Structure 1
Amino acid sequence: MARVRRVVGAALVAMTVASAGAAMAQGGDAPGVVTETTQLSGALRVRGAALAQRITYWSRGPRGPMQSTAAIYLPPGPPPPGGWPVVAYAHGSVGIADQCAFTLRPREFYLATVYPVLLAAGFAVVISDYVGLGTPGTHPYLDGPSQARSVIDGVRAARAVTPALGARWAVFGQSQGGQTALFTAALAPTDAPELALRGAVATGAPSNLEYGLTAAGPWVPRLPLRKTTTYFGLFLAGLRATAPELDIDSYLTPIGEQVLRIVESECVDDADALVRDIAIGQMLSRQLAGPALESAVRSMLRIPTEGQSVPLFLGQGLTDLEVPAPLSVELIADLRSSGADLQVGVYPGDHLSAAAEALPDALAFLHRVLA
């Protein structure tokens, strides 16, 4: 296992994140309190949805209350006894600029494929934007605990304004959302005992990043993976805003400072077009090391593998160049050795196509745990 850890750590330098000034709640607003409700229209509607709504609610960031937004879609017809079971969809990397929020910019794969399938299966769908993404403050990218709390509080908020929703729910995430789903599975049973979390689906989930990120330094070359510089920049930009005492700027070269400015203002694909030819090593003037930084990185990235109490489904693409398949080996091994109720699906596709290939298996898993 130690050897695997070293191999994974070295590879993760390439992959690093394939992952604020918090807006403090006045009067200590509780998690899940809704402050605004609007109807979604046009391209943000989903075929077959009886309700398409966007809510703004209070959640919890790394250092206190922050706001988040979420979309709610309901299946047609009357709800079953006890209300519609909920699938909380945790989305993948879109960026950290406010205009990139998932509930503001249509993403056809999800709106035309994933969500209609979930609605047709009899599940309500709730999609959180995560704290700071389209709301005050900076989104702490790949901060697993705050992303999980955004999802949990999003379900709380959705149930507060939508009486047709039941308490049974599952979380389903892709990429950054896959990481979020695994954190949610670990945190929700004790964080939200009033809700009945029944399982978690994670596809293309970045894991074990904490082992490689703090090995990064000026020596890291440009590597043959996708969007690594963009993901690395997003992570550092979120960490810089969330934990200014770490002085992230002191690790950056002028090129690194430029990359962070780009990822703070552009969505993922646009940022990648501008920075993809920059090596991670060109961004750094020295190694990302130090006890405080390493502790912060672990708390954000270390996926809980012990004590997972709900069934898990993990999907991985064999040709994924954003979360390469070998990097999931230790996650799977650690979950199994910890006694998790784990189902694994391996698919031929890349990062997004494998998510589509996994959808039938994920749907069968959701039917089983939410029955």
Structure 2
Amino acid sequence: MKVVIGRRLGAAALALLFLAAPAAGHAAADPARDPGTVVSNEALPTSAEVAGASGSRQLTYWTEGPRGEAALSTGAVYLPNGTAPAGGWPVISWAHGTTGVGDDCAPALGFDVTSLTRDYVSAWLTRGYAVVATDYVGLGTEGVHAYLHGRSEGRAVIDMVRAAREVTPELSPAWVAVGHSQGGHAAMFAAHEATKYAPELDYRGAVATGTPANLEHLFPLGGPGFPNLGLNGLTAFAAYVVAGLQQARPDLPVDDYLTPRGLELVETAKSMCFLSLHKYAGPIGVGEIISRPLDNELFRSALRDYLAVPTTGYDRPVFIGHGLRDQTVPYPLGAKLAADLQLAGQPVTFRSYDAFHGSSVFEALPDTTAFVRSLFGTA
């Protein structure tokens, strides 16, 4: 615990020093804050270990925050058993699903992630891939995590590869983005700009399952009396998005659109991890937290900028998978994303599975394994 607390204080101090620096010291002018630069390399907490790893580390590194500023993220590096092949271990940059938006919810700091996540990361390790896993900006570092802010999450996924390679010589520059749920959203953004954002790396493609796409079309429908749609965790997810909007867009009058109950729930969401918040928010409907309709150009534009998954501009293959029984991110959202990509002539493969949200990532594993192997030329 002393190690974790010390690292948090150190990361917070570094962030505060950066915020106090003059404008001329922005990240672009200071190599010490270049994206992917490691500021801390420590032992991973036991609670963050996964089976099948022969070595693991906890990193803190520079990336980009939701306002375009230099910001710190934490993450983990897991190496598979055995000797690295010539050229180094091929890399999976894993983007995790929803854990929360507060520091206590960061997987690399020891947050008790689900066995599903542990088993999934282990599955890639046993297949001979190194796994690097970002926590995203604000989880374990200064500020509130801007949940589902696509640009900053995608860059954290890319910069995690840079950071891991800085301290781990066994890693190849060849890498693939893989994410599920929130992480599927992050992986899509990483896929969209990986080659131009990090040209020194060898980005091969991406896998995104259970991806919460097209939410920018749904959120503006919210307002007083919004019905209960029967979706698992909807109110908790909405509270996280609102908290993220407050972080990314302080110019927006977000609080003016929340009821007193909504203000309380969003404030609670900033420190409560997902399972606890899901239970806490269970009886509360989305219509009870919004005081007036969001269907205006101010919020429609802000939500597009914040949430919308790009449907053009991909230069490497992308695999999208979705469960037909998904009650968290309904199947039509993922199917529409895939259809829009296909209509735009993007290099996308889409598969559906007779599975729920959590189980779909494992149902897809045979297909995603074959897909990733083809990207690395080992099929």
CA RMSD of aligned residues (A): 1.5
Deviation digits for residues 219-264 of structure 1 (CA, Å, limit 9, x no counterpart): 3022211000000000001111221210211000011011112211
Post-superposition offset of 1:351: 0.6
Q: C-alpha distance in 2, partners of 1:332/1:291?
A: 26
In the alignment, is residue 43 of structure 1 matched against residue 47 of structure 2? yes
Tell me the residue number matched to 1:83.
88
Q: Match for residue 203 of structure 2?
A: 197
Q: Is the 8 A contact 2:66 2:247 kept in 1?
A: no
Native 8 Å contact 2:90 2:171 kept in 1: yes
TM-score computed with the length of structure 1 as normaliser: 0.91
Once the two structures are TM-superposed, the CA of residue 108 in structure 1 deviates from its matched residue by 4.0
- How many percent of aligned residue pairs carry the same amino acid? 42
The answer to whether the 8 A contact 1:263-1:271 is kept is: yes
Say if 1:172 and 1:201, in contact at 8 Å, map to a contact too: yes
2:62 corresponds, among 47, 58, 70, to: 58
Give 2:357's match in structure 1, choosing from 336, 346, 351.
Answer: 351
- SS of equivalent residue, structure 2 residue 39: strand
How far the C-alpha of 1:158 sits from its partner, in A, is: 0.5
Instruction: State how 1:217-366 maps to structure 2 within 5 Å.
Output: 217-366=223-372
How far does the alpha carbon of each residue in 1:256-301 deviate from its partner, in whole angstroms, 9 at most, with x for none?
0111122112101100101122111111111124434322211121
Q: Indicate the residue corresponding to 2:189 in structure 1.
A: 183
Question: Cα deviation per residue 1:17-56 (whole Å; 9 max; x = unaligned)?
Answer: xxxxx86465431111111111124232222212110000
- Counting only pairs closer than 5 Å after superposition, residues 120-199 of structure 1 correspond to structure 2 as 120-199=126-205
Q: Quote the Cα distance in structure 1 between the aligned partners of 2:213 and 2:51.
A: 33
Aligned equivalent of 2:215, options 206, 209, 216: 209
The one-letter amino acid paired with 2:73 is: S
For 2:221, what is the secondary structure of its paired residue?
Answer: coil
Deviation at 1:168, TM superposition (A): 0.4
Residue 32 (structure 1) aligned with residue 45 (structure 2): no
Amino acid at match of 1:117: A
In structure 2, list runs of 5 or more residues that go unmatched: 1-14, 28-32
Once the two structures are TM-superposed, the CA of residue 331 in structure 1 deviates from its matched residue by 0.8
SS in 1 for 2:310: coil
Aligned length: 350
- Paired with 1:187 and 1:111, the residues of 2 have a C-alpha distance of 26
CA distance in 2: counterparts of 1:142 and 1:270, whole angstroms: 19
Does residue 92 (structure 1) correspond to residue 79 (structure 2)? The answer is: no
Cα pair 1:223 1:279 within 8 Å, conserved: no
C-alpha deviation, 1:150, in angstroms: 0.6
CA distance in 2 between counterparts of 1:324 and 1:289 reads: 22
For the Cα contact (< 8 Å) 2:72–2:137, is it kept in 1?
yes
The CA deviation at 1:177 is 0.4
> Residue 158 of structure 2 contacts residue 190 of structure 2 at CA under 8 Å; is this kept in 1?
yes
Deviations 1:156-194 (A, max 9, x none): 100001111111000100000001111111011110111
Q: Tell me: higher relative CO, structure 1 or 2? Use CA pairs within 8 A at least 6 residues apart.
A: 1
Answer whether contact 2:48 2:107 (CA < 8 A) is retained.
no
Separation in 2, partners of 1:317, 1:182: 17
Q: What residue identity is the alignment partner of 1:72?
A: V
SS of equivalent to 2:251: helix
Letter aligned with residue 47 of structure 2: A
C-alpha separation between the residues in 1 aligned to 2:52 and 2:281? 39
AA in 1 matched with 2:273 = C
In the superposition, relative to structure 1, how do residues 193 and 110 fare at CA in structure 2: closer, same or farther (>3 Å)? farther
Match of 2:123 in 1: 117
Q: What is the TM-score when the length of structure 2 is the normalising length?
A: 0.89
SS in structure 2 at match of 1:244: coil
Cα shift readout 1:297-342 (whole Å, capped 9, x = no counterpart): 1112111111211111111111110111122222111110111222
After the TM superposition, which parts of structure 1 deviate over 3 Å for at least 4 consecutive aligned residues?
Answer: 22-27, 289-292
Question: Structure 2 vs 1, CA of residues 364 and 109 (structure 1 numbering), >3 Å: closer, same or farther?
Answer: farther
Letter in 2 for 1:213: F
How far off its partner does 1:110 sit? 4.6
CA contact (8 A) 2:311 2:344 kept: yes
